[in-house]
């Protein structure tokens, strides 16, 4: 696999996914090597001069007024990492951990953090070798960035803490030894360069955004399946309607659904029926899905800036001969973006479940049997799987309360306003999981409804149905369905619906 070149300025969200998920190797650009080296030389000149500079020759946070003797500076940096590594709970999975490592490397590669090139190159070696520090999920308030979880990452760099290597959890020292990588003894500024920043939040946001964008595309496909199964009218998707309210996401969603329903025999079978308008969950799909898309577009802009930004403190400007203590570590931009993302995609699930109700309720389904059971009463059909969707949607309503509106002062009121972005991130992960499951359930229900009609849908939607039927056959009588539901969720996460319909030549945007 081609290497991803890290220069601190041009990383894309797709690059993050390649490194995190596909395990693409990375290396530093020659330009970044030169910038890191130049910045470090300036740091060492400050130390040699005995200047008092926050984080280099002083304590941290409320201890910023305490000067540290030159002979204690190395101990200061190690103590920073050890004392701050106090996160708790379940550890982040391998993909998120790799994204965190990558984004921390990218920040350091900008050449404004004062880290030694040797230390940065060791982080690169760790990522390429597959040494994944164990980083517990809870313990950050989102300012000064993700101090505690990033300290767990840095522990392994100095030969402490815990890591997973080749599928086995072990001590950080063992992992480094097995990979043949020497642990680092930190010098001035390096501890602060390693644990001060927003990379945990940004990593989760980046991977969640990519998942959410794919969920939007698949939601359009599943909505089209449901509309066709319900003998819905295509009038509401007419481009003339959407041109008069041209929100970008709405236009895209309407175009996708129109393309998917085109040339559907099932749609053509009721062209001259008396139905002139459908329930909102059908005819307002482009408006609801489009709003989610537009919210994600905002989040993407935030993240494209964030993953190429310097977010530690203090920032070092060797050309200007300045060390400036600022606030780029504050997670507010990410916290608000992630809360917005969670709200946006939760609406995909909300409207999806209402389309399920239209298909399962015989008073609404235009001739479909109750709960799509072949033997209603003897069989329950899809009655209870809808309850699963309802449960997850209700959970989302709790999870989408914004964490970014909260703040608890820390560090003796030195850090008197924090973003709580890490809480936004953890909630977002669960919302993505819940929405994936709800859409998987709609896939199963819509496929059953189309089969019961006994008239084919469009070629594209038939491909989507056929993909599901590889592991979830048509329901002729009640059976244990959770194994196929789990497979359906996994397939949604792998974009199986999207890949299936695009085999027909239709591009989903």
Give the residue from 507, 9, 6 showing the smallest Cα distance to 258: 507
Give the residue from 340, 351, 190 showing the smallest Cα distance to 257: 351
**Block residue for tokens 């650009």:** 29
**Block residue for tokens 């910023």:** 64
Counting Cα atoms < 13 Å in the Cβ hemisphere of 311 gives 33
Dihedral sign from CA coordinates of 12, 124, 96, 158:
negative
SS (H, E, C) 483-504: HHHHHHHHHHHCCHHHHHHHCC
From the candidates 42, 54, 298, 482, give the one annotated as an active-site residue: 54
Residue 298 burial class via C-beta count within 10 angstroms: exposed 0-12, middle 13-18, buried 19 and up = middle
Instruction: State yes or no: is 54 an active-site residue.
Output: yes
Round to whole Å and give the CA distance between 430 and 346.
11
Quote the radius of gyration of the chain (alpha carbons, Å). Answer: 26
Rounded to the nearest angstrom, the gap between the alpha carbon of residue 255 and the centroid of all alpha carbons in its chain is: 26
CB 104 within 8 A of CB 149: no
Per DSSP, what are the bridge partners of residue 27?
5
**Which residues have C-beta within 8 Å of that of residue 268, sequence separation ≥ 6?**
none
CB 496 within 8 A of CB 440: no
Active-site residues, by number, are 54
């Amino acid at each position: 696999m081609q290497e991803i070149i890290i220069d601190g300025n041009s990383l894309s969200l797709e690059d993050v996914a390649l490194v995190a998920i596909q395990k693409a190797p990375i290396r530093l650009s020659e330009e970044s090597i030169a910038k890191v080296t130049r910045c470090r030389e300036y740091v060492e000149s400050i130390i040699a001069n005995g200047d008092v500079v926050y984080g280099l020759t002083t304590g941290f946070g409320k201890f910023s007024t305490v000067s540290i003797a030159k002979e204690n500076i190395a101990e200061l940096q190690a103590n920073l990492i050890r004392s701050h590594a106090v996160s708790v709970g379940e550890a982040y999975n391998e993909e998120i951990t790799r994204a965190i490592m990558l984004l921390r490397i990218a920040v350091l590669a900008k050449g404004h953090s004062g880290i030694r090139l040797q230390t940065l190159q060791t982080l690169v070696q760790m990522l390429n070798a597959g040494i994944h520090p164990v980083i517990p999920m809870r313990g950050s308030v989102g300012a000064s960035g993700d101090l505690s979880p990033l300290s767990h990452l840095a522990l392994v760099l100095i030969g402490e803490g815990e890591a997973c290597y080749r599928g086995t959890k072990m001590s950080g020292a063992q992992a480094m030894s097995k990979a043949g990588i020497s642990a680092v003894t930190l010098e001035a500024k390096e501890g602060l360069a390693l644990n001060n920043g927003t990379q945990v939040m940004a990593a989760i946001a980046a991977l969640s955004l990519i998942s959410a964008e794919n969920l939007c595309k698949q939601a359009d496909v599943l909505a089209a399946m449901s509309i066709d199964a319900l003998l819905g009218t295509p009038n509401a998707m007419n481009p003339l309607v959407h041109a008069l309210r041209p929100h970008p996401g709405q236009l895209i969603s309407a175009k996708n659904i129109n393309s998917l329903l085109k040339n559907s025999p099932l749609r053509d079978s009721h062209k001259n029926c008396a139905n002139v308008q459908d329930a909102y969950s059908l005819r307002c799909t482009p408006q609801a899905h489009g709003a989610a898309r537009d919210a994600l577009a905002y989040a993407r802009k935030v993240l494209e800036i964030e993953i190429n930004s310097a977010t530690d403190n203090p920032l070092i400007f060797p050309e200007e001969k300045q060390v400036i203590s600022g606030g780029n570590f504050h997670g507010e931009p990410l916290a608000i973006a992630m809360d917005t993302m969670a709200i946006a995609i939760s609406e995909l699930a909300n409207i999806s479940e209402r389309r399920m109700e239209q298909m399962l309720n015989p008073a609404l389904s235009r001739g479909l049997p109750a709960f799509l059971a072949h033997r209603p009463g003897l069989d329950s059909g899809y009655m209870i799987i809808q309850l699963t969707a309802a449960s997850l949607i209700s959970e989302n309503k709790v999870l989408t309360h914004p964490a970014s509106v909260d703040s608890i002062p820390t560090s003796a009121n030195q850090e008197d306003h924090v973003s709580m972005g890490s809480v936004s991130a953890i909630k977002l992960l669960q919302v993505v999981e819940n929405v994936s499951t709800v859409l998987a359930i709609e896939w199963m229900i819509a496929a059953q409804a189309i089969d019961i009609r006994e008239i084919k849908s469009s070629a594209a939607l038939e491909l989507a149905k056929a993909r599901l039927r590889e592991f979830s056959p048509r329901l002729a009588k009640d059976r244990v369905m959770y194994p196929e539901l789990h497979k359906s969720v996994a397939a949604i996460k792998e974009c199986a619906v999207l890949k299936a319909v695009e085999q027909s030549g239709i591009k989903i945007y």
